[in-house]
Structure 1
Amino acid sequence: MLPTSPPVSAGPPPWTCPFCPLLCDDRRPEATGCPKAQSALAGLQAMPAAQARVDGREVALDEALAVAAARLEAAGQALLGGWGCDVDGARALVRLAQRLGAVVDVGTAAGEPLAQGLRALQDRGSFTTTLAEIRERADLIVSLGSAVTASAPRLVERLLAGRGEAGRAPRPAWIHVGRDAERPAGAEAELLALPGGADDLPDLLVQLHLELGDKAEAARAATPPDVRALAARMRAARYVALLWEPSKLGAQAALPIERLTHLLMRLNRVTRAAALPVSGGDGAMTAQYVHAWMTGQPLRSRHALAPDGGGRAVPEHDGRRFGAARLLADGAVDALLWVACLAPQDVPAAPVRVVIGPAALVTGGHLGDEAGTVFLPAGVPGWDHGGHLFRVDGSVLMPLHAAGGRAAPPAAAQVLALLERLGAGRAAA
């Protein structure tokens, strides 16, 4: 007789919180304990039912979809931005971009740091690690320049879970380089004070680079004693993890990120070291990965038909030319499709806008002047419907499960598929 499997629990599936880059999956919504998640959940629970809108008036969804498809088809150059959705939504955005010949860029506060990090990666490569690797192996964690827990409140807890318990490695030393007010809570971090915060970080990175280089370089450098001591501790550690938040590194974040990569190169000559940039929330990391899978190019690309007339969409990537903020400021696009299902955010102005997201975009005033705007309601991944998102460390695809327990609007992927189908029908006609 074949052995029987143990009975499957009838309890609710694990819930993955979609509201920060960590995508924590160890707590239910009613007991999340995370201030960012609690705030987002309170807003969702109080949110009214969504209604489609055209130029500020409520209409049936079918009418709004038809108007949106017509306006996008008539555009000379469309921009697809926001990308606040799950993997299926991102895939649908890529397909629509290929059909419209659109420019694609996240264009949000979460997207700019991702683009800056990509520039540094393209120029110098990178040494990155995962939450699990830090939790199991790091004996020295150095957080740089900002409160890395601002966008990921449970980061310290996730990195230190179980360390110091019986049978586990002792807690790693944690040094915060920056202002005292930004020291991560719960990390018991030592402080190397930078009164100027991120503004002082480039000089410190140069000093560390020299100290970790050959002896002749270090001898010529007038390195402060506390920086010299930090370099010595990093050299003596078995595994150094560097944490930073790219959004806090300024408009030219690619430059300090490149210097951090040089620092990691030098550290890896004498020990093991890797980085965990804390970014990619609100669907930005997922958008970058999905677009690269499907097209071979990152975001900040323009899709156009191949010159051979074969109908194949060929993306052209340029991290500067195709930034959403720049294109909108220069009036280089005449239609904007914006998806913001994960976090309510102000939608940029454009002559024609199609906005996809929950009712909070309307009730929170995030649409601004609705002239020329079509609003299409869509659900929140991880609340109204299931799906998948990429975690902060980029190597883990986390499953989402609906936890809202209410009649929900369709997922962004479904709305985008309807738009694509309607637009293709208009083009064929």
Structure 2
Amino acid sequence: MHSPSIDPSPPSPSATRAAALTRDWICPFCPLLCDDLVAACRDDGTLEVPDTECPRLAHALAHYAATDAQCGCSVDGNEVDGDAALARAAQWLANARRPLFGGLATDVAGARALYPLAAACSAILDHLHGDALTPATLALQDRGSFFTTLSEVRTRADLLVFFGCQPSRRYPRFFIRALAGAELARELIFVGCEADPAAAGFAQTRIDTLLPDADAYDTLALWSALAEGRDAGALRQGAGSDALASLHARIASARYTVVVYEPAALPAPHAALLIEALHRIVKAANRTTRAACVALGGDDGALTVNQTVTWLSGLPLRTRVSKPARVAGTAPLDHDPYRYRTARLLAEREVDALLWIAGFVPQTWPASLDPALPLIVLGHPALADAARARGANTVFVPVATPGIDSGGHLFRVDGTVVMPLTAARGVALESVASIAAKLSERMSERSSPREDPP
């Protein structure tokens, strides 16, 4: 939700000496996109956000140093200028039959610029968090979804049901953003897990826990049956049935129930079935009252890139895109959530180049990567040493982080709001969008792409 800006008490002089402040700064490091922050950039290039207790934000900011402005490009472990790095990267992409664009930690503009580059070289697109995105996508494709917004959670939901997740583990400020300052009395029920300690202490809020050790699939099977109107007496008897019957009654009497889950926290490999069940329960509840879901995910630009690629192509991530003439006899678009999984592609040696994008935090490429596979890294300056250490078959180009050294746009966790980012520091690093556009230009200047042999 885009909450009112907060003007905090002035930070201590020692914390902000020689620092430039950016008020109403939007944090890009988690999909909550908190917009009530003040970012302080010191004259040595380090960053701080006073008056907030978010370990995830603090950890991310620790990766930005005074030396970032001097970070340069490298090829095969040797420092080179930007033109040489881009020339080698374009050459590898032009020669590749099946490159993979992985990581994809970028913003809307980055995703838009990477898409035509991918089409020019018949690349497969998969995100760093593809394993969490895919179950939600499959459930949406198969059964549909029933989502709400963070604003609705804050202002209308009087019953929040958390299924198998403690939000503050990955999203430390979730409860502050969802509950703080709201006058609505509400219940918080944790199903299939212990209560999140961060949920305690909010006014007019009552917390309960149901079946913390129960199997997720058994729980949702019983809960789904109750939601569809089957008599609890006809179901398997026991504490689980009784507890879920009580939960069903509480949902029926609530004005607005929101079911919160984290796709990444659901047990694999069939998380899509659990997500389908949760949405089926919510749809059934809407016959007599109001209910919806909130999925907590989309980290490192995952939701943003998925939304952008879907808008551009009509298909979500884990899609191969190409110009029709690039590879003879193949379709311009091919979506396969299983075949085009990064780990599987690398393990089966089905790609011949990897373009790795890591624009938010220094997420390294998969450790299983074959040393002989050409690797192009458009990444956080903190990845420069790892790229040089890999040595041969490696190109590294440092990029700006949206919200730190460049502006940008990201989709919020609820997928309905695009938040505009303002640079808190502004070190002269190029954006992923700029570099991708230059690579596309170099690709177009080369000879026409050859077709695969028959």
State the TM-score, normalizing by the size of structure 2.
Answer: 0.84
CA contact (8 A) 2:361 2:380 kept: no
**Is structure 2 residue 171 aligned with structure 1 residue 152?**
yes
Name 1:6's counterpart in structure 2.
none
1:84 is the counterpart of 2:95: no
The corresponding residue for 1:232 is 249
Paired residues of 1:207 and 1:223 also in contact (CA < 8 A):
no
User: Contact 1:176 / 1:183 at 8 angstroms: preserved in 2?
Assistant: no
Alignment partner, residue 39 of structure 1: 59
1:385 aligns with 2:406: yes
Q: For the Cα contact (< 8 Å) 1:111–1:280, is it kept in 2?
A: no
Identify the match of residue 425 of structure 1 among 399, 423, 445: 445
Aligned equivalents of 2:253 and 2:312: distance in 1?
Answer: 43
In 1, Cα distance between equivalents of 2:35 and 2:233: 45
Q: Do the aligned residues in 2 keep the contact of 1:64 with 1:376 (CA within 8 Å)?
A: yes
Identity %: 41
Cα 1:47/1:116, change in 2 over 3 Å: farther
Aligned position for 1:282 = 300
Alpha-carbon contact 2:403-2:421 (below 8 Å) kept = yes
1:398 and 1:124 mapped to 2: Cα distance?
29
Structure 2 CA distance, aligned partners of 1:120 and 1:326?
21
CA RMSD of aligned residues (A): 2.4
* Distance apart, 1:318 and its partner CA: 1.5
Q: Which residue of 2 aligns with 1:357?
A: 379
Measure the CA separation in 2 of the matches of 1:273 and 1:313: 40
Residue 128 of structure 1 aligns to a residue in which SS? Answer: coil
When structure 1 is superposed on structure 2, of 332-341 and 291-300 the one drifting more is 291-300
Paired position in structure 1 for 2:433: 413
Question: Does the Cα contact within 8 Å between 1:99 and 1:313 map onto a contact in 2?
Answer: no
- Using the TM superposition, give the Cα deviation of residue 212 of structure 1 relative to its aligned residue in structure 2, in angstroms: 2.3
Q: Counterparts of 1:138 and 1:394 in 2: how far apart (Å)?
A: 18
Provide closer, same or farther for how the CA distance between residues 47 and 428 of structure 1 changes in structure 2, counting only shifts above 3 A.
Answer: same
Partners of 2:83 and 2:193 lie apart in 1 by 53
Q: Does 1:161 align with 2:180?
A: yes
2:122 corresponds in structure 1 to 101
**SS state at 2:340 partner:** coil
Taking a change above 3 Å as real, the CA distance of residues 183 and 204 of structure 1, as seen in their structure-2 partners, is farther
CA contact (8 A) 1:301 1:315 kept: yes
Could you say which residue in structure 1 is the equivalent of 2:226? 211
User: How many Å separate the matches in 2 of 1:84 and 1:246?
Assistant: 18
Letter in 2 for 1:359: P
Unaligned runs of 5+ in 2: 1-20, 40-48, 450-454
For residues 3-37 of structure 1, what are the alpha-carbon distances to aligned partners after superposition, in whole Å with 9 as ceiling and x for unaligned?
xxxxxxxx846311000010011111222432211
Larger CA deviation: 35-44 vs 112-121: 35-44
Q: Tell me, in whole angstroms, the C-alpha distance in 2 between the residues paired with 1:88 and 1:313.
A: 26
Instruction: Give the Cα separation in 1 of the matches to 2:272 and 2:334.
Output: 21
Q: What letter is aligned with 2:243? A: D
TM-score (norm 1): 0.89
Specify the alignment match of 2:321 in structure 1. Answer: 303
CA positional deviation for 1:220: 3.3
Q: Is the 8 A contact 1:50 1:358 kept in 2?
A: no
How far the C-alpha of 1:215 sits from its partner, in A, is 4.3
Structure 2 CA distance, aligned partners of 1:367 and 1:147? 39
Say if 2:112 and 2:308, in contact at 8 Å, map to a contact too.
yes
| Structure-2 separation of matches of 1:381 and 1:411 | 8
State the alpha-carbon separation in 1 of the partners of residues 327 and 85 from structure 2. Answer: 32
**d(CA) in 2 for partners of 1:205 and 1:67?**
52
**d(CA) in 2 for partners of 1:113, 1:67:** 33
User: Counterpart of 1:14 in 2: which secondary structure?
Assistant: strand
Alpha-carbon offset, residue 308 of structure 1: 11
Q: Which of 246, 249, 260 does residue 263 from structure 2 map onto?
A: 246
| CA distance in 2 between partners of 1:174 and 1:238 (Å) | 14
Q: Which residue of 2 aligns with 1:257?
A: 275
Partner of 1:7: none
Answer whether contact 2:77 2:387 (CA < 8 A) is retained. Answer: no
Structure 1, unpaired ranges of 5+: 1-10, 165-169
The answer to whether the 8 Å contact 1:128/1:276 transfers is yes
Once residues 73 and 32 of structure 2 are traced to their aligned partners in structure 1, the CA distance between those partners, rounded to angstroms, is 32
In the aligned structure 1, how far is the partner of 2:208 from the partner of 2:381?
44
* Shift >4 Å, 4+ stretches: 181-184, 307-310
Alignment deviations for residues 39-81 of structure 1 (CA, whole Å, 9 cap, x no partner):
2112214664321111112111111111111111111111111
Q: Displacement, 1:415? A: 0.9
